Amino acid sequence: MMLNQTVIFFLLWVIIALVVEITLAGKITVSDIHEQKIEQRLNQLNKPAVKSIHSPDGDIIDCVWIYHQPAFDHPLLKNHTIQMRPKSDSTRDKTGGNKTDIIHQLWRTKGECPKNTIPIRRRTRDDLLRSDSIKTHGRKNPPTISPTTYHLPDDQTEVHEHASVYLDYGEYHGSKSRISIWRPDVNMTEFSLAQTWVVGGDWDTVLNTVESGWQILHSMYGDNNTRLFAFWTSDSYGDNSCYNLDCPGFVQVNKDIALGAALNTISTYNGNQYDFLLTIEKEQDTGLWWLKFDTHLVGYWPSFLVPKLADSARMIAWGGEIVYDASGQNEHTLTQMGSGHFAEEGFKKAAYINNIEYIDKSNHPIKPFPQNLEASVTRPECYNLKVGSSRRWGTYIFYGGPGRNPQCL
C-alpha cells in the first residue's frame, strides 16, 4: 500500500513538473514573439546611419542618407524625387520678433550631420515598451482639435483641454506664428504642448490635419524635455496618423533639424524669453505642405497623405493643449500648460504665441484681427487665454495655466 502511494505521489510530481514546464515554455514563446515584433519595428524605424551623434540628454541622432529616410518606405514615394525647397518660396520671415535669439537643438552641441543626410532620433526598445502597443507607437491620442468646435467620441476616456484660438470655415493655405518655448511640469502619463493646427474635413466625415510645435510627452520620448514635433493624420487620428518620421509620409530635407529632438533654449519665469517662428504653407504648384522652423525648411507633407487638404485648409488654430486620463480620477491633473501660469500674468510670465498670421489662397500672409479669432478654452479656471494686438507683436495670445488649483479641482 505504501509503495502504491509513493508511486502515485511520484507520478503526481511528474505531472505537475510537466505542466509547469509547458506553462513556462508557453510564456517564453509569447515573450519571444513580442521581442521579435519589437526588433522588427525598430528595424523599420531606425535606418542605417552614416554617422551617429550622442546628445547630452541621452538621445542618439542618426545621420541617414536623405533617400534612405522612412518616407521612401511609402509605396507612393518609391520613385519620388525630393524637392529641396519650394519652387516659389513665399515663406520669408516678415513677422519681426527677436532675431538675436538663435534657437538650437540640444544634439547640435555635439556635432552635425553631413551633406545629403538628415538627422533622425533613434528609437529604442524602451520607447516602444512605453507605448500602449507596438502597433500604436508614434500615433497621437485622439482628438486634439478643440472640443468646442468638434464633438468628442463617446468612448473618449482621455480628457483633452485647450486654450487656443482658431479661424474656421475658410480657405487657408497655411499659418505663421512665433511660439514661445517653455518646459511646464507634466505628469508622466500625460502631455502638454503648444502648436499650430492646419485642418481639413471634419469629424462627421473624416478629419485631415498637419500640425507642428513643441511638446512634452514622456510616453514617447522617456523624459520631460521640450521637443520640436510634426504630426499628420488622414483619418481623424486613426491608423493613418504619424508623429515626426515614425512612419512613411513626411519628407525631410534639412540636415540641421531633428524632429522629436529636444530644444536647448527654454524661457524662464521673469527671465529670458525664447521663441521660434513656425510656418506651415501649401505650395500652389505642387500641393506640398511645407514645414519651416525659423529660417530652416524642414520638409513637407505630400498632398496625397492628407487629401482633405489637397485644395486648402478649412481651419487654422493656434494654442496650447494638455491631455490626461480622467478614468477613476476625482481631481484635476497637475499637468501645466504653457509656462504653468495664467494668461493675465503677461510677458515673461505667461506663454505666448505672437505675430499670428494665416496664409490666403494667393499665398499672402494676413494678420487676422483679434475680434475675428474664435477662442476655445475648455476650463478657464484651469488654463486660460488672452487675445491682443500690438504694433510689434501683431495679433497675439497669452495662454496657459497650472492645472489643479483651488478653483480647478
Residues 138 and 218: their CA atoms lie apart, in Å, by 12
Angle among Cα 147, 402, 319 to the nearest 5 degrees reads: 40
- Provide the pLDDT for residue 100: 41
For residue 321, indicate whether it is catalytic: yes
Would 21 be classed as within a structural domain? no
pTM of the model: 0.87
pLDDT tens for 248-292 read 999 999 999 999 999 999 999 999 999 999 999 999 999 999 999
CATH number of the domain bearing residue 171: 2.60.120
387 confidence band (pLDDT: 50, 70, 90):
very high
The pLDDT score that the predictor gives to residue 384 is 99
Quote the CA–CA distance of 274 and 277 in Å, as a whole number. Answer: 11
Give the pLDDT of residue 145. Answer: 56
Q: Give the 3-state secondary structure percentages of the chain, helix then strand then coil, rounded to 5.
A: 20, 35, 45
Asked, as a colleague might, if the bond just before 368 is cis with ω within 30 of 0, I would say no
Number of domains in the chain: 1
Q: What is the pLDDT of residue 96?
A: 39
66-79: buried (b, 16+ CB within 10 Å) or exposed (e) per residue? bebbbbbebeebee
Residue 395 is part of which domain span? 133-400
- Name the active-site residue from 161, 190, 281, 321: 321
Interval 212-229: pLDDT, tens: 999 999 999 999 999 999
Catalytic residue among 190, 211, 283, 357: 211
Picking from 338, 274, 229, 268, the residue whose alpha carbon sits closest to that of residue 99 is 274
Whether the CB-CB separation of 223 and 57 falls below 8 Å is answered with: yes
Per the annotation, the verdict on 283 as an active-site residue is no
Write the DSSP assignment of 389-407 as a string of letters: EETTTEEEEEEEB-SSBTT
- Asked whether residue 8 is domain-assigned, the answer is no
Q: What is the mean pLDDT of the chain?
A: 88
Q: 359 lies in a domain?
A: yes
**In a domain? residue 19:** no
Residue 15 lies in a domain: no
In a domain, 280, yes or no: yes
How far apart CA 142 and CA 384 sit, in angstroms, is 22
* Mean pLDDT confidence for 104-108: 95
User: Does residue 325 sit within a domain?
Assistant: yes
Q: 298 in a domain, yes or no?
A: yes
